[in-house]
Homo-oligomer: A and B are copies of this chain.
Amino acid sequence: MREQITSVHNQHVKNWRKLQTHKGRNKFGQYLLDGWHLVQEASHSNQKLIDLIGTADELDQHDDIVSLFENVYEVSPEIIKSITDTNTPQGIVAVVELPNIHVLPADHLKGAWLFLDRVQDPGNVGTMVRTADAAGFTGVVASNQTADFFNPKVVRSMQGSQFHLELVAGDLKKWIADFKSSGLPVYGTQLNPAAKNFRDVTPGANFALIMGNEGQGMAADLLSQTTDNLYIPMRGNAESLNVAVSAGILMFQLNQGN
């Protein structure tokens, strides 16, 4: 059933717009996917598909995907623009069910895990999730004060990786303690040449890597709980690396052969 909406003041449109905020996403238990690539990824996942919103042109060209949605809304480009935060939206948006990230995955002590300690920039969080996916990680755990996984900017940077790995909100102290009591190593990261050279570590298949806040790095009370804290030796005059770049270098070094 395809319904036509022409006004940006329509109640559906108002509700979709609210999904740009953390409060709105939690209220409705939904989040937005912007563009065909993400909508297609969602249609192959087991995420519940709720609404498909598109311009007539876009909807007409993708019957296969349109037919997967119960609620299909034909709208103007202006309405699309009003519900996304993209400058040049493709003209297609899906509303899907917000996963419950507060559930502890059954296999949470298996595989490679990335822990994010108060990483604030949505682009960094999304890029790290995408990189963790490419590096074969099992999941990503976000601390309190880390940018929300389902913030539109994070969703854009993840490029669909939320459908490939576990995303969890968790207390990192508890996660570190759980890993350590199971005999699994937890690697912190520190901008400190006295820390361990990351090239000197060869973990097994099961471990955790922690990345910290952009400005302040990892919290001291987490650094003191890890198995080892790693450092990427810098040879130029740069004072630091971007956190998502560091995470990429470390994830591809630590998770090579398992």
Contacts and interface: CB of A to CB of B under 8 A. Distances in A.
Contacts of A134: 232, 234-236, 238, 240-241
A24 interface: no
Contacts of A247: 245
Interface residues of A, number: 37
A133 B238 contact: yes
Given A242-B244, A244-B245, A248-B245, A161 B236 contact: yes
A242 B137 CA distance: 16
A33 to B, nearest CB: 16
A236 B127 contact: no
Contacts of A164: 236-238
Given A199-B256, A245-B245, A235 B135 contact: yes
A236 B199 contact: no
A130 B248 contact: no
B130 A238 contact: yes
Given A236-B165, A248-B249, A242 B131 contact: yes
Nearest to A44: B237
A239 B159 contact: yes
9 contacts: A123-B123, A130-B238, A130-B241, A130-B242, A134-B234, A134-B235, A134-B241, A241-B248, A245-B245
Contacts of A161: 236-238
A255 interface: yes
Given A134-B232, A160-B239, 19 more contacts: A127-B242, A130-B241, A132-B236, A133-B236, A133-B237, A134-B235, A134-B236, A135-B234, A135-B235, A159-B239, A159-B240, A161-B236, A161-B238, A164-B236, A199-B256, A245-B245, A246-B248, A248-B249, A249-B249
A241 B252 CA distance: 11
